[in-house]
Amino acid sequence: MSISAGGFSDTYNVAQFHFHWGASSRVGSEHTINDKEYPMELHIVHYGQKHGALSQAAARPNGLAVLGFMFEISESDNPSLAPIVDKLSEVKYKGNATALATFSLRDIIPTSLTRFYRYSGSLTTPPCYESVAWTVFTSTIPISESQLQKFRQVMSSDKDAVTKAYKPLVNNYRPPQPINGRVVYANFRLDPDAATGVKASAVVCAVCFMVLLLL
């Protein structure tokens, strides 16, 4: 899988994807849209093809491109997430490993990818290189409370000081950061009364990009 066009001068190859989630469904996403927080966020991390590898691209300007997708609570389970959710109990503790059945990321992400925000930012975990072209989509992914709860049952490597039991792996997200002069762009017309837009590090201005091509 790779992405190109959409304002990019390079083709970016997928390196990995991961999730951020909260202890409750009121929090969990690393981005907010018009001040709304989401219970979970999916990041698909890409590296610039010209750099050859993720490790070589990570510290280069615009070396990385990350696609961000928000999750919203649905009344029923999302069957597209089953290949991942059904295996979470097998990786409950650090060091556990399991094998997933083959599935397509296309089945997980929204069908519509035509509306998104774009800004230049950083990785959200150390060493937090400022090398990321972020693309945050407005279309969301449905997930049920029971599916989210399976993510929250995975354990971190931290132990309770009193009981010595492992703590649940929750709230693994970084809060929105200061603007620091950045601007977030949108490839669709914004409502002037809702110009707060994405908060990860900026205010939103409207601009037109070509749509991303997912291959």
Q: What is the rounded distance in angstroms from the CA atom of residue 180 to the CA atom of residue 197?
A: 16
pLDDT, residue 205, reads 38
The per-residue pLDDT for 93 is: 94
State residue 77's pLDDT score: 97
Per-residue pLDDT tens for 127-137?
888 899 999 99
pLDDT at position 78 is: 97
Is the pLDDT at 193 greater than 60, yes or no? no
State mean pLDDT over 173-201: 73
pLDDT of residue 202: 38
Q: How high does pLDDT run on average in the chain?
A: 87
What are the CB-based long-range contacts (under 8 Å, 24+) for 101-110? 105/1, 105/14, 105/17, 105/44, 106/214, 107/80, 108/42, 108/80, 108/81, 108/141, 109/42, 109/44, 109/67, 109/69, 109/137, 109/141, 110/69, 110/137, 110/139, 110/140, 110/141
Kindly indicate the confidence band of residue 141, based on its pLDDT and cuts at 50, 70 and 90. Answer: very high
Residue 207 binned pLDDT confidence (cut-offs 50, 70, 90): very low
**Are 12 and 2 a contacting pair, CB within 8 Å?**
yes
Cα–Cα distance, 12 to 47 (Å, whole number): 5
pLDDT class for 203, splitting at 50, 70, 90? very low
What CATH code is carried by the domain that includes residue 27? 3.10.200.10
Range of the domain at 49: 2-214
Q: Name which residue leads in pLDDT, 178 or 93.
A: 93
> Given this model, what pLDDT does residue 197 score?
53
CA dihedral for 117, 118, 119, 121, sign (positive or negative): positive
The count of structural domains within the chain is 1
Alpha-carbon span 130 to 117, nearest angstrom: 17
pLDDT for 192: 61
Instruction: Name the pTM for this structure.
Output: 0.87
Structure tokens at 26: 């009121």
Question: Residue 151 and residue 92: Cα distance in Å, rounded?
Answer: 9
